[in-house]
Each structure stands twice: as C-alpha cells, then as structure tokens.
C-alpha cells in the first residue's frame, strides 16, 4: 500500500463516521507564534480542544505535515524522520473511548486487513492524577483482543501531552503490530526493544488541562486525538521494518545511491558490514534532511543562525557532511531536492506550496551549499594554521571548529592522520557535552514559553498583535502585512512588510492609536463564516496560506464599523479593556523590506 492509498482509506473511514476533512495546517504555525514548527495533528487544534467551537464541527480528520526537531542527531535509524505526515481524527467534546476503540479495531483489521492476533495494545496503568484505564482495556477485550496482548504501562509510555508546558492532555492507548508473527511470542517490552512490536497508532483521550502550576484540571469537554504516522504504517503494511524501504523514500534513496555510487542496505538485509551500515545511515540522513529542508524553505524559512533558520541550516549542512562521508564532493542538495519534488505523488497529502516555491527553494539550497563548502575550505585552512603553530589540534579546538564552522570532527581526525597525529576525542566529547547541556537548558526555556501557550498573558499579547496590525495599516498604509510574530510572557514581537525605518512620531501615533482602542473598551467578537465571505468583509489573512472553507474571524469593534478584522484561530480576550497600557520598546529592521517591533504592556 502506498501513502496516498493509506490516507484515502483513513479519511474515507472517518468521513463515513461523520468526520469532516480539514486541510493540513502550515508547518510554521500561524497563530501560535511562540513555537518553531507544527509537531502533531492536534497542535493547530489546541483552541478547539480547549472548548472553542470549530467551524467545521466536532468530528475532524486530516493528514498533517509535521516537523519534530527534538534531537536531529537521532536521525539515521530506520524509523525516525524530521519531516513526516500524520493521519489523525478528532472528537471535540463529542464521542469518546467507547466509539474510538471499536473504530480503531475495525480500521486496523477490516480496512487495513491486519490480523487481530498480531495486535498488541497498551493502556495507562494509572497514577495519582488519573485512574488506571480499565475502561479502554475492557473495550479492547470486547473487540476480541486477548488479555495477554493488553499491557498496562506508566505515564512515560501511555500519556500524551500537553504539547507545551500547559494544555490539554490525557491517557492514551497505543496499538502495536507484531512484525514477526511467525516467531514465538516474546515479552512485550523485549519485543518493542527488538523493534519486533512496532507502534502504529495512538488514541489519546484528552480529559485534563495541565495548568501552569502543574495541576491537572478536568477539561470542559473530553476529546479524542489520534495520530498514525504515515511513513511507518506505509512501510509496515508493505512488509518493511525499515521505513526507508517503502515507496515514499525509495526514489530519493535511489538518487543518493546513484550520485554516491554506494548501496543502501535496509535492516532486512543479512549482516551488512560496518562500512555498509555507516553508509546506509548517511544515505538516510541525507534523504530525511533534504526532504525536511524542502518543506521548511517552501514554508518561508531561510537558512540563518536563528531559530527556524538555524534548524534548517543544520539540516542542510549535516546533509553535506554526510555526503562527504559518501565521497560526494560536488553540490548535490538540489539534485536530491528535485527527487523529492518529482515524487510528490508519494506523499499522503497534497502540498501545492512545493511547486509554487520550487525555484526559490532550489536557489536557497544551492546558495547554502556553496556557503558551507567555502566554510569547510576555511576550516581546513584553520586546521593547517593550528598544526603549523601548535603542532596539533586540541579536542577543544576541534569542538570550536565544529561549532563555529560546522566542521566535522571526522574531518579533523582525517587531516591529523596525514601528519601522524591523533585527536583527543575525549576532550572533544566533553566540550560538546557541555555545550549540549547549555542548549538543552535554552531550548527547554523556549518550549516553556511557547508551544500551545494559551496563558492569560499570551492571550492578551495575541489580541494586541491584531490591534498593532490594524494601527500600523492605518498609520503607515495598507501595504503593511504581518509576516510573523512571537510572544513570550515578557513581550511581543511583530514583523511586518514596510520599507523605511519608522520615525519617532509614527511610533508615537501607532502607540496612541492602540491605546485609544484599548480605552474605548471595544468588544472582540468571534464569528464563523466561509473563507470567501471573510475575504469579502475585508478580514486580513496570511497571503498564500491554504485556509479551510469555513474559518473563524475575530473582529475588534463593531461588526459593521470595526477597527480590526482578521482570520485567526484564537484564542483572544473578549474586550480590549482587559489590556494594559501598550508601549513599543524597540523598532528595527527584520530583513530587507521588513520591520520588526517589540512591545510590552506597562500595566496589565
């Protein structure tokens, strides 16, 4: 089965059970400005899981493009991907376990024709916040799953969310497939470790909202959130325990084999040599990273040293380093990107942004590759200098080369070998570990401020971005378009299209206008309407984004005589009087033709 067939089956099944298909949200979140990438199908739906009515109803299904950058360095095994597609269905306060579990069983065994005896199920064992999930286990037994195939597991395994620090979460039940049913059964955990029992679907029963004090409050509504990885399921249904063997990846893998003259040996292969294993890993990394890069650039991300751009840069540069390991010395990222673009029918979803941005994304890759190859040349010169000066390169120096030039440590080792020198790899590893510790602390902070942050302060700043957007358009002109925003508990940041630096009097005028609207105590009205109608009414929307047919629109002021109107998923406060005094603290250039404003509330 290929990915498109799997998606069709999944969507049709849930549509036949009253669900509405919604489009995949962009991988760069639009209305959750505090996180880098969409990482699960539920992620763009957080407001609705918390109780806001969704314009298309209570039963939704889709395929969502996702990016997970948790530990990019883990990529290279047979089943992790930076970019992947996730099938999901949702009940927004509608059905719950007693519908979802029989449907899961029916879909797996009747639609995907999986032998029920090959299924293993895990359920939550219970803790002080939530009881043992006997209900789910009981429902699985009714479908016919024998008790010895139902396993109770702790929170680390059978609890999902919140996606950030706060938000909806709950126990889940996970479905595993025995990929070697012909062999005698083994202990469940052993089977998982040996990758014999492989997870293919996750049903999350969202019953709680975890608040910022770490308390689990029952949600206003109980939801279902499920997720099925397209890459893994497609591979397994085609008999591969290595995701990269499926039709989704093979055209890309073939291209890499062709240009490197190396062979990909999947895990099904008998006893590959160490050399073959390492080459296979490099091939996987290149395929994964370039595919993810293609989607990031198509979503508007450019390689840089900050945030999303930095993630992208690391992906491209790591691909090139892996290419070097395979002996590829000339530019190749564009060739691989073309293999991704030429095989779009292997995706489960349709992504028109890929063709729309094709030229731009190929140029961006080529430019970054040229830059990095130059960097590598400079790194080699640096090594030469160190050898001339100190007769060696220390582990710390090798780490600096790695960190600031992205210069691979293997290449330092190779260079040193030419002089019969050896690198103190322990010193290198210690320096790297220390650095990783620091960035883990940093990214934990980032995560905390962000993902699905629906705290009161974030919500206030979110409404303020709408006021600022409208004020900028009124003062500077209608060419102003929001191009991004970012909110922390301390401040908001807002990027927009505008050529010139703002004058002091313009800044004052904008501030005064926002504060006037706050003092006017304007209502913030949420309405559901057709996207075309929203456009007719003048609601602002992100240019080039694919919106669902029906959307929510937030109006600030009177419906007929409004100050601001934007297509947005929320959440927002309900009256501008809830906001404090608004102050712009900085105005600067964000990129050519783009300005950036930092603003705060002086009092809340």
Chain residues binding ligand SER by CB under 6 A are: 40-42, 88, 160, 202, 204, 225-227
Nearest distance in Å: CB 574, ligand SER: 29
Cα(322)–Cα(284) distance, integer angstroms: 10
Produce one character per residue of 58-97: b if its CB has 16 or more CB atoms within 10 Å, e if not.
Answer: bbbbbbbbbbbbeebeebbebbbbbbbbbbbbbbbbbbbb
Cα(123)–Cα(171) distance, integer angstroms: 8
Contact 246, 235 (CB under 8 A): yes
Nearest distance in Å: CB 148, ligand SER: 25
Give, for 405, the enclosing helix (H) or strand (E): helix 395-405
Nearest distance in Å: CB 395, ligand SER: 39
DSSP state of 523: B
C-beta of 171 vs 227, nearer to ligand SER: 227
C-beta of 88 vs 571, nearer to ligand SER: 88
Nearest distance in Å: CB 18, ligand SER: 19
C-beta of 310 vs 447, nearer to ligand SER: 447
C-beta of 63 vs 398, nearer to ligand SER: 63
Nearest distance in Å: CB 206, ligand SER: 9
DSSP state of 82: S
C-beta of 45 vs 431, nearer to ligand SER: 45
The residue number with the shortest CB distance to ligand SER is 227
- Residue 526 Cα to chain centre, angstroms: 27
Nearest distance in Å: CB 456, ligand SER: 25
DSSP state of 575: B
Cα(264)–Cα(242) distance, integer angstroms: 11
C-beta of 227 vs 395, nearer to ligand SER: 227
C-beta of 41 vs 171, nearer to ligand SER: 41
Produce one character per residue of 243-261: b if its CB has 16 or more CB atoms within 10 Å, e if not.
Answer: bbbbbbbbebbebbbebbe
Tokens of 460: 């206030």
Nearest distance in Å: CB 43, ligand SER: 8
Q: Is-cis flag, bond preceding 162, omega within 30?
A: yes
HSE-up of residue 326 (Cα within 13 Å, Cβ side): 30
Q: What is the rounded end-to-end Cα distance, in angstroms, of the chain?
A: 55
Nearest distance in Å: CB 24, ligand SER: 14
If one counts every other C-beta atom within 10 angstroms of the C-beta of residue 39, the result is: 20
CA dist 319 → 16, 142, 282 (Å) = 43, 49, 8
Cα(123)–Cα(140) distance, integer angstroms: 10
Length of the chain: 604
C-beta of 245 vs 292, nearer to ligand SER: 292
Tokens of 498: 């505008």
3-state secondary structure 30-52: CCCCCCCCCCCCCHHHHHHHCCC
Order of all β-strands in the sheet with 594-601: 482-487, 492-497, 594-601, 582-591
Nearest distance in Å: CB 262, ligand SER: 34
Cα(14)–Cα(2) distance, integer angstroms: 19
Tokens of 265: 């040996």
SS3 (DSSP) at 271: coil
Cα(394)–Cα(427) distance, integer angstroms: 8
C-beta of 136 vs 463, nearer to ligand SER: 136
C-beta of 447 vs 598, nearer to ligand SER: 447
DSSP state of 147: G
C-beta of 226 vs 449, nearer to ligand SER: 226
Nearest distance in Å: CB 203, ligand SER: 8
Nearest distance in Å: CB 443, ligand SER: 19
C-beta of 82 vs 555, nearer to ligand SER: 82
Nearest distance in Å: CB 158, ligand SER: 11
Nearest distance in Å: CB 88, ligand SER: 5
CA dist 463 → 31, 44, 245, 598 (Å) = 11, 18, 47, 15
Tokens of 476: 């500077």
Cα(377)–Cα(141) distance, integer angstroms: 63
C-beta of 224 vs 502, nearer to ligand SER: 224
């Amino acid at each position: 089965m290929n990915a498109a067939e799997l998606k069709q089956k999944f969507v049709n099944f849930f549509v036949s059970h009253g669900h509405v298909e919604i489009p995949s949200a962009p991988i760069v979140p639009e209305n959750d400005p505090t996180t880098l990438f969409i990482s699960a199908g539920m992620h763009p739906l957080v407001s609705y899981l918390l109780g806001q009515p969704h314009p298309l109803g209570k039963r939704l299904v889709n395929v969502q493009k996702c990016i997970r950058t948790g530990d990019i360095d883990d990529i290279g095994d047979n089943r992790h991907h930076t970019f992947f597609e996730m099938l999901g269905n949702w009940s927004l306060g509608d059905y719950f376990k007693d519908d979802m579990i029989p449907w899961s069983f029916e879909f797996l065994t009747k639609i995907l024709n999986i032998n029920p005896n090959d299924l293993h199920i895990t359920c939550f064992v219970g803790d002080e916040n939530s009881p043992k999930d006997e209900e789910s286990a009981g429902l699985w037994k009714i479908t016919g799953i024998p008790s010895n195939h139902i396993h109770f597991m702790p929170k680390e395994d059978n609890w999902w969310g919140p996606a950030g620090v706060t938000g909806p979460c709950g126990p889940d039940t996970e479905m595993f497939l025995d990929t070697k049913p012909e062999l005698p059964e083994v202990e469940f955990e052993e089977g998982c470790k040996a990758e014999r029992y492989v997870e293919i679907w996750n049903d999350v029963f969202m019953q709680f909202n975890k608040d910022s004090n770490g308390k689990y409050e029952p949600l206003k509504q109980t939801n279902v959130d499920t997720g099925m990885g397209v890459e893994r399921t497609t591979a397994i249904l085609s008999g591969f325990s290595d995701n990269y063997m499926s039709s989704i990846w093979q055209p890309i893998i073939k291209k890499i084999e062709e240009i490197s003259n190396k062979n990909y040996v999947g895990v099904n292969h008998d006893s590959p040599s160490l050399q073959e294993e390492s080459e296979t890993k490099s091939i996987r990394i290149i395929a994964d990273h370039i595919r993810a890069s293609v989607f990031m650039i198509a979503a508007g991300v450019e390689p840089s040293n900050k945030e999303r751009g930095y993630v992208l840069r690391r992906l491209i540069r790591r691909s090139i380093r892996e290419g070097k390991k395979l002996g590829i010395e000339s530019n190749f990222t564009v060739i691989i990107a073309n293999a991704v673009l030429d095989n779009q029918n292997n995706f489960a979803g349709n992504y028109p942004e890929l063709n729309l941005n094709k030229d731009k994304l190929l140029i961006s890759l080529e430019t970054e590759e040229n830059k990095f190859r130059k960097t590598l040349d400079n790194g080699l010169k640096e090594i030469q200098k160190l050898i001339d000066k100190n007769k060696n390169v220390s582990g710390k120096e090798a780490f600096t080369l790695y960190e600031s030039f992205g210069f691979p440590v293997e290449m330092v080792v190779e260079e040193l070998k030419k002089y019969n020198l050896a690198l103190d790899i322990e010193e290198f590893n210690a320096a790297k570990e220390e650095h990783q510790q620091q960035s883990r602390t940093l990214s934990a902070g980032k995560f905390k401020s962000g993902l699905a942050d629906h705290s009161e302060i974030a919500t206030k700043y979110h409404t303020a971005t709408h006021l600022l957007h409208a004020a900028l358009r009124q003062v500077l002109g209608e060419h102003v378009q929001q191009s991004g925003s970012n909110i922390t508990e301390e401040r908001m940041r807002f990027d927009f299209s505008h050529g010139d630096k703002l004058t002091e009097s313009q800044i004052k005028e904008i501030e005064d206008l926002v504060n006037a609207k706050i003092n006017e105590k304007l209502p913030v009205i949420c309405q559901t309407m057709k996207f075309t109608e929203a456009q007719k009414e003048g609601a602002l929307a992100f240019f080039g984004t694919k919106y669902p047919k029906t959307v929510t629109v937030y109006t600030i002021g009177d419906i007929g005589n409004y100050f601001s109107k934007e297509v947005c998923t929320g959440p927002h406060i309900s009256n501008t009087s809830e906001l404090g005094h608004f102050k712009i603290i900085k105005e600067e250039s964000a990129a050519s033709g783009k300005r950036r404003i930092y603003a705060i509330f002086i009092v809340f």
